[in-house]
Amino acid sequence: MDVLNIQDEFSNKTLKLSEESFLELKEFVYQQSGILLSDRQKVLLETRLSGRLKTLGLENFSDYVKNLKSPEFYHKEKAFLFEAITISESSFFRDANQIRVLQEIVLPELFENAIQQQASQVRILSAGCAAGEEPYTLAMVIKEKFSSYTSRIPVHIIGVDINSTNLEKARKGVYHEYSMKNIPQEYLQKYWTRDGYHRVLNDEIREMVEFKQLNLLHLNKDSSMSRFDLILCCNVLLYLERQAKVQVVQNLYDALNLPGYLFIGQSESLHGITQAFKLYLFQRAIAYKKE
Protein backbone atom coordinates (compact mmCIF):
# COMPACT_ATOMS: atom_id res chain seq x y z
CA MET A 1 0.00 0.00 0.00
CA ASP A 2 1.40 3.38 -0.94
CA VAL A 3 -0.08 6.78 -2.02
CA LEU A 4 -1.67 7.95 -5.32
CA ASN A 5 -1.70 5.62 -8.31
CA ILE A 6 -4.88 5.22 -10.30
CA GLN A 7 -5.94 4.58 -13.85
CA ASP A 8 -7.00 8.16 -14.28
CA GLU A 9 -10.43 9.21 -15.42
CA PHE A 10 -9.00 12.52 -16.62
CA SER A 11 -11.33 15.16 -17.90
CA ASN A 12 -10.37 18.42 -19.60
CA LYS A 13 -11.53 20.32 -16.55
CA THR A 14 -10.05 19.73 -13.12
CA LEU A 15 -12.52 20.52 -10.37
CA LYS A 16 -11.37 22.65 -7.46
CA LEU A 17 -11.02 20.87 -4.13
CA SER A 18 -11.71 23.54 -1.52
CA GLU A 19 -9.81 23.59 1.74
CA GLU A 20 -13.03 22.81 3.62
CA SER A 21 -13.86 19.79 1.42
CA PHE A 22 -10.26 18.57 1.59
CA LEU A 23 -10.32 18.66 5.39
CA GLU A 24 -13.62 16.76 5.39
CA LEU A 25 -12.24 14.19 2.95
CA LYS A 26 -9.03 13.93 4.96
CA GLU A 27 -11.00 13.23 8.16
CA PHE A 28 -13.29 10.72 6.42
CA VAL A 29 -10.37 8.77 4.93
CA TYR A 30 -8.64 8.72 8.29
CA GLN A 31 -11.73 7.43 10.08
CA GLN A 32 -12.21 4.68 7.51
CA SER A 33 -8.62 3.56 7.04
CA GLY A 34 -6.23 5.28 9.44
CA ILE A 35 -4.46 6.81 6.42
CA LEU A 36 -3.51 10.42 7.08
CA LEU A 37 -3.50 12.39 3.84
CA SER A 38 -0.83 15.08 3.66
CA ASP A 39 -1.52 18.63 2.49
CA ARG A 40 0.70 18.11 -0.56
CA GLN A 41 -1.75 15.49 -1.82
CA LYS A 42 -4.56 18.03 -2.22
CA VAL A 43 -3.65 19.03 -5.79
CA LEU A 44 -3.01 15.42 -6.77
CA LEU A 45 -6.42 14.39 -5.47
CA GLU A 46 -8.02 17.21 -7.45
CA THR A 47 -6.45 15.76 -10.58
CA ARG A 48 -7.11 12.12 -9.78
CA LEU A 49 -10.72 12.45 -8.65
CA SER A 50 -12.06 15.16 -10.98
CA GLY A 51 -12.75 12.65 -13.72
CA ARG A 52 -14.42 10.32 -11.24
CA LEU A 53 -16.78 13.09 -10.09
CA LYS A 54 -17.67 13.76 -13.73
CA THR A 55 -18.49 10.07 -14.20
CA LEU A 56 -20.74 10.20 -11.12
CA GLY A 57 -22.47 13.36 -12.38
CA LEU A 58 -21.26 15.42 -9.41
CA GLU A 59 -20.37 19.08 -9.88
CA ASN A 60 -18.11 19.59 -6.86
CA PHE A 61 -16.10 17.85 -4.17
CA SER A 62 -18.46 19.03 -1.45
CA ASP A 63 -21.22 16.83 -2.89
CA TYR A 64 -18.78 13.94 -3.28
CA VAL A 65 -17.76 14.06 0.38
CA LYS A 66 -21.40 14.30 1.47
CA ASN A 67 -22.25 11.24 -0.61
CA LEU A 68 -19.33 9.31 0.86
CA LYS A 69 -20.97 9.62 4.26
CA SER A 70 -23.92 7.58 2.97
CA PRO A 71 -23.17 3.90 3.76
CA GLU A 72 -24.77 2.74 0.51
CA PHE A 73 -22.75 5.17 -1.64
CA TYR A 74 -19.52 4.50 0.25
CA HIS A 75 -19.91 0.73 -0.15
CA LYS A 76 -20.05 1.17 -3.94
CA GLU A 77 -17.43 3.92 -4.11
CA LYS A 78 -14.72 2.77 -1.69
CA ALA A 79 -12.79 0.79 -4.31
CA PHE A 80 -12.46 3.92 -6.49
CA LEU A 81 -11.63 6.13 -3.50
CA PHE A 82 -8.84 3.95 -2.16
CA GLU A 83 -7.47 3.42 -5.63
CA ALA A 84 -7.11 7.20 -5.78
CA ILE A 85 -5.39 7.60 -2.42
CA THR A 86 -3.14 4.56 -2.50
CA ILE A 87 -0.29 3.82 -4.85
CA SER A 88 1.72 0.69 -5.51
CA GLU A 89 5.42 1.35 -5.75
CA SER A 90 6.60 -2.12 -4.97
CA SER A 91 8.98 -4.52 -6.66
CA PHE A 92 10.14 -8.09 -6.35
CA PHE A 93 13.03 -8.85 -3.97
CA ARG A 94 12.90 -5.19 -2.88
CA ASP A 95 14.84 -5.53 0.39
CA ALA A 96 17.79 -7.84 -0.20
CA ASN A 97 18.90 -7.80 3.44
CA GLN A 98 15.44 -8.71 4.68
CA ILE A 99 15.19 -11.55 2.16
CA ARG A 100 18.59 -12.82 3.27
CA VAL A 101 17.57 -12.89 6.95
CA LEU A 102 14.30 -14.61 6.12
CA GLN A 103 16.04 -17.20 3.99
CA GLU A 104 18.99 -17.91 6.27
CA ILE A 105 17.51 -17.51 9.76
CA VAL A 106 13.78 -16.93 10.14
CA LEU A 107 12.19 -19.35 7.68
CA PRO A 108 14.37 -22.32 8.74
CA GLU A 109 13.45 -21.61 12.37
CA LEU A 110 9.74 -21.38 11.57
CA PHE A 111 9.74 -24.61 9.57
CA GLU A 112 11.65 -26.47 12.28
CA ASN A 113 9.28 -25.18 14.99
CA ALA A 114 6.21 -26.12 12.97
CA ILE A 115 7.46 -29.65 12.33
CA GLN A 116 8.52 -30.10 15.95
CA GLN A 117 5.11 -28.93 17.18
CA GLN A 118 3.33 -31.02 14.53
CA ALA A 119 1.56 -27.94 13.20
CA SER A 120 -0.80 -28.36 10.26
CA GLN A 121 0.90 -25.63 8.19
CA VAL A 122 3.24 -22.64 8.20
CA ARG A 123 1.20 -19.45 7.80
CA ILE A 124 2.59 -16.24 6.31
CA LEU A 125 0.83 -12.88 5.89
CA SER A 126 1.88 -10.07 3.56
CA ALA A 127 -0.03 -7.10 5.01
CA GLY A 128 -0.33 -4.28 2.49
CA CYS A 129 0.79 -6.55 -0.34
CA ALA A 130 0.30 -3.99 -3.17
CA ALA A 131 0.10 -5.91 -6.47
CA GLY A 132 1.53 -9.12 -5.02
CA GLU A 133 5.26 -8.54 -5.44
CA GLU A 134 6.11 -9.30 -1.81
CA PRO A 135 4.08 -12.50 -1.29
CA TYR A 136 5.17 -13.85 -4.67
CA THR A 137 8.80 -13.12 -3.74
CA LEU A 138 8.33 -15.23 -0.62
CA ALA A 139 6.60 -17.95 -2.61
CA MET A 140 9.52 -18.17 -5.05
CA VAL A 141 12.10 -18.25 -2.25
CA ILE A 142 10.21 -20.98 -0.41
CA LYS A 143 9.70 -23.02 -3.57
CA GLU A 144 13.35 -22.71 -4.52
CA LYS A 145 15.06 -23.08 -1.14
CA PHE A 146 12.71 -24.94 1.20
CA SER A 147 11.24 -27.83 -0.79
CA SER A 148 12.67 -30.28 1.75
CA TYR A 149 10.42 -28.65 4.35
CA THR A 150 7.34 -28.06 2.20
CA SER A 151 7.28 -31.74 1.29
CA ARG A 152 6.63 -32.36 5.00
CA ILE A 153 4.47 -29.37 5.95
CA PRO A 154 2.40 -27.10 3.68
CA VAL A 155 2.81 -23.32 3.49
CA HIS A 156 -0.15 -20.94 3.29
CA ILE A 157 0.73 -17.42 2.12
CA ILE A 158 -1.94 -14.71 2.24
CA GLY A 159 -1.61 -11.23 0.76
CA VAL A 160 -4.02 -8.51 1.87
CA ASP A 161 -4.46 -4.95 0.63
CA ILE A 162 -7.12 -2.25 0.86
CA ASN A 163 -6.85 -1.54 -2.88
CA SER A 164 -8.98 -3.95 -4.94
CA THR A 165 -7.28 -2.94 -8.21
CA ASN A 166 -3.94 -4.03 -6.75
CA LEU A 167 -5.41 -7.41 -5.88
CA GLU A 168 -6.89 -7.94 -9.35
CA LYS A 169 -3.42 -7.40 -10.81
CA ALA A 170 -1.85 -9.68 -8.21
CA ARG A 171 -4.18 -12.55 -9.04
CA LYS A 172 -3.33 -12.27 -12.75
CA GLY A 173 0.41 -12.47 -12.07
CA VAL A 174 1.40 -10.29 -15.04
CA TYR A 175 4.05 -7.60 -14.45
CA HIS A 176 6.07 -5.05 -16.39
CA GLU A 177 9.77 -5.80 -16.45
CA TYR A 178 10.70 -2.61 -14.53
CA SER A 179 9.36 -4.18 -11.30
CA MET A 180 11.42 -7.33 -11.83
CA LYS A 181 14.96 -6.00 -12.01
CA ASN A 182 15.97 -7.62 -8.70
CA ILE A 183 14.65 -11.12 -9.43
CA PRO A 184 17.55 -13.61 -9.73
CA GLN A 185 18.04 -14.85 -13.28
CA GLU A 186 17.44 -18.47 -12.35
CA TYR A 187 14.06 -17.54 -10.88
CA LEU A 188 13.11 -15.66 -14.05
CA GLN A 189 13.96 -18.65 -16.18
CA LYS A 190 12.18 -21.16 -13.96
CA TYR A 191 9.01 -19.35 -12.88
CA TRP A 192 8.27 -16.73 -15.56
CA THR A 193 7.42 -16.52 -19.26
CA ARG A 194 7.89 -13.42 -21.41
CA ASP A 195 4.96 -11.66 -23.07
CA GLY A 196 6.26 -8.56 -24.86
CA TYR A 197 7.39 -6.03 -22.25
CA HIS A 198 5.69 -8.07 -19.53
CA ARG A 199 6.36 -11.35 -17.79
CA VAL A 200 3.78 -13.85 -16.63
CA LEU A 201 4.21 -15.79 -13.38
CA ASN A 202 3.57 -19.50 -13.67
CA ASP A 203 0.62 -21.21 -11.99
CA GLU A 204 2.86 -23.15 -9.62
CA ILE A 205 3.86 -19.96 -7.78
CA ARG A 206 0.56 -18.11 -8.19
CA GLU A 207 -1.32 -20.96 -6.55
CA MET A 208 0.87 -20.66 -3.44
CA VAL A 209 -0.67 -17.26 -2.58
CA GLU A 210 -4.22 -16.31 -1.63
CA PHE A 211 -5.28 -12.65 -1.92
CA LYS A 212 -7.95 -10.87 0.12
CA GLN A 213 -9.16 -7.28 0.29
CA LEU A 214 -8.84 -6.11 3.87
CA ASN A 215 -8.39 -2.97 5.94
CA LEU A 216 -5.63 -3.63 8.49
CA LEU A 217 -7.56 -1.64 11.09
CA HIS A 218 -10.16 -4.42 10.90
CA LEU A 219 -7.75 -7.35 10.80
CA ASN A 220 -8.94 -8.54 14.20
CA LYS A 221 -12.53 -8.81 12.93
CA ASP A 222 -11.66 -11.56 10.43
CA SER A 223 -11.25 -14.92 12.15
CA SER A 224 -9.16 -16.26 9.25
CA MET A 225 -6.52 -13.59 9.91
CA SER A 226 -4.84 -15.34 12.84
CA ARG A 227 -2.22 -17.90 13.80
CA PHE A 228 0.46 -16.53 11.47
CA ASP A 229 4.07 -17.58 11.95
CA LEU A 230 5.41 -14.66 9.93
CA ILE A 231 3.92 -11.28 9.01
CA LEU A 232 5.48 -8.75 6.65
CA CYS A 233 3.99 -5.25 6.84
CA CYS A 234 6.47 -3.12 4.93
CA ASN A 235 5.96 0.56 4.09
CA VAL A 236 2.41 0.65 5.41
CA LEU A 237 2.80 2.19 8.87
CA LEU A 238 4.49 5.31 7.51
CA TYR A 239 1.16 6.38 5.97
CA LEU A 240 -0.82 5.99 9.19
CA GLU A 241 -1.47 8.47 11.99
CA ARG A 242 -0.12 7.39 15.37
CA GLN A 243 -3.39 6.08 16.84
CA ALA A 244 -4.00 4.02 13.70
CA LYS A 245 -0.43 2.69 13.86
CA VAL A 246 -1.01 1.54 17.43
CA GLN A 247 -4.21 -0.26 16.44
CA VAL A 248 -2.71 -1.91 13.35
CA VAL A 249 0.40 -3.07 15.21
CA GLN A 250 -1.76 -4.50 18.00
CA ASN A 251 -3.83 -6.33 15.38
CA LEU A 252 -0.66 -7.75 13.83
CA TYR A 253 0.65 -8.83 17.23
CA ASP A 254 -2.63 -10.59 18.02
CA ALA A 255 -2.58 -12.31 14.62
CA LEU A 256 0.84 -13.87 15.25
CA ASN A 257 1.51 -17.29 16.65
CA LEU A 258 3.73 -17.63 19.69
CA PRO A 259 6.52 -17.48 18.66
CA GLY A 260 6.08 -15.42 15.51
CA TYR A 261 7.99 -12.78 13.55
CA LEU A 262 7.00 -9.35 12.23
CA PHE A 263 9.02 -7.47 9.61
CA ILE A 264 8.35 -3.83 8.69
CA GLY A 265 9.97 -1.44 6.22
CA GLN A 266 13.53 -0.15 6.49
CA SER A 267 12.36 3.41 7.19
CA GLU A 268 9.78 2.33 9.79
CA SER A 269 10.05 1.68 13.52
CA LEU A 270 7.84 0.47 16.35
CA HIS A 271 9.57 2.83 18.80
CA GLY A 272 6.90 4.62 20.79
CA ILE A 273 4.19 2.40 19.30
CA THR A 274 4.52 -0.84 21.26
CA GLN A 275 6.87 -2.70 23.58
CA ALA A 276 5.17 -6.05 23.06
CA PHE A 277 7.79 -7.40 20.64
CA LYS A 278 11.39 -8.38 21.26
CA LEU A 279 13.69 -6.58 18.84
CA TYR A 280 16.26 -8.63 16.92
CA LEU A 281 19.08 -6.79 15.14
CA PHE A 282 20.58 -8.69 12.25
CA GLN A 283 23.18 -7.41 9.82
CA ARG A 284 21.33 -4.59 8.01
CA ALA A 285 17.91 -5.99 8.91
CA ILE A 286 15.55 -5.79 11.88
CA ALA A 287 12.93 -8.26 13.04
CA TYR A 288 10.29 -8.04 15.76
CA LYS A 289 9.46 -11.29 17.52
CA LYS A 290 6.46 -12.26 19.61
CA GLU A 291 7.75 -14.66 22.23
Q: Which residues contact 156 (CB under 8 A, 6 or more apart)?
A: 121, 122, 123, 124, 210
Decide which of 30, 60, 85 is a domain's last residue. 85
Query: What is the mean predicted confidence (pLDDT) over 71-100?
Result: 86
Q: How far apart are CA 217 and CA 178, in angstroms?
A: 31
β-bridge partners, 211: 159
Query: What is the mean predicted confidence (pLDDT) over 46-75?
Result: 92
Same domain? For 50 and 129 the reply is no
Q: By percentage, how much of the chain surpasses pLDDT 90?
A: 74
β-bridge partners, 193: 200
Domain count, the chain: 2
Same domain? For 80 and 104 the reply is no
Tell me what the pLDDT averaged over the chain comes to. 91
Same domain? For 62 and 134 the reply is no
Do the beta carbons of residue 124 and residue 156 sit within 8 Å? yes
Residue 7 forms part of a structural domain = no
pLDDT of residue 10: 38
> Pairing between strand 122-127 and 155-161?
parallel
Same domain? For 68 and 170 the reply is no
Decide which of 85, 106, 133 is a domain's last residue. 85
The model's confidence at residue 239, banded by pLDDT at 50, 70 and 90, is confident
pLDDT of residue 45: 86
pLDDT of residue 20: 93
Same domain? For 175 and 238 the reply is yes
Residue 8 forms part of a structural domain = no
Residue 54 has pLDDT above 70, yes or no: yes
- Higher-confidence position of 19 and 44: 19
Do the beta carbons of residue 134 and residue 231 sit within 8 Å? no
Give the residue numbers spanning the domain of 209: 96-290
Q: How far apart are CA 168 and CA 92, in angstroms?
A: 17
- Classify residue 264 as left (phi > 0), alpha (psi -120 to 50) or beta: beta
Q: How far is CA 274 from the centre of its chain?
A: 21
Residue 275 has pLDDT above 60, yes or no: yes
Q: Which residues contact 43 (CB under 8 A, 6 or more apart)?
A: none
Element (H, E) at 199: strand 198-201
Which CATH number is 41's domain given? 1.10.155.10
Decide which of 33, 52, 85 is a domain's last residue. 85
Residue 173 has pLDDT above 90, yes or no: yes
pLDDT digits (tens, 9 = 90+) for 81-90: 887 887 666 8
pLDDT digits (tens, 9 = 90+) for 193-233: 999 889 999 999 999 999 999 999 999 999 999 999 999 99
Same domain? For 39 and 72 the reply is yes
pLDDT of residue 32: 87
pLDDT of residue 269: 93
Residue 270 forms part of a structural domain = yes
Residue 74 has pLDDT above 60, yes or no: yes
Query: What is the mean predicted confidence (pLDDT) over 158-175?
Result: 95
pLDDT of residue 284: 87
